Amino acid sequence: MNFRQQIKSNPYGSVVWRVFIGVIGGLVTIIGTIFLFAPGPGLLVLLAGLGILATEFAWAANAIRKTKSIAQSTSEKFRIPLWVKYLLIAGGALFSIVLLVILYA
């Protein structure tokens, strides 16, 4: 039995687990939103927060699915090859990390 199943076996465990996931996912999502306007990997952190929330909440899973479909249709519209997408994502993440290190060093 894993940790999640053990907590959910308790009558109030399911509610406590959902509140815990909601708080952690909400905090990561808020930090990602702040990073959208401050230097940092805002979109990546925002999507990570939604990913945490999607483990327990259907609306977050729908938001991730919709975001993924929009990104896929946009890349198909511009006919961007897959390797270029990966290069842009990796370059953006690396640029954000280097910028954070430079600004806070």
User: With contact defined as beta carbons under 8 Å apart, do 25 and 53 qualify?
Assistant: yes
Residues 13 and 42: their CA atoms lie apart, in Å, by 32
- What pLDDT was estimated at residue 1? 62
- What pLDDT was estimated at residue 82? 81
What pTM does this model have? Answer: 0.65
- What pLDDT was estimated at residue 26? 93
pLDDT digits (tens, 9 = 90+) for 34-84: 888 877 787 888 889 999 999 889 999 998 899 888 878 887 888 878 888
Residue 17 belongs to domain spanning: 3-104
Q: How many domains does the chain have?
A: 1
- The mean per-residue pLDDT over the stretch 86-95 comes to 86
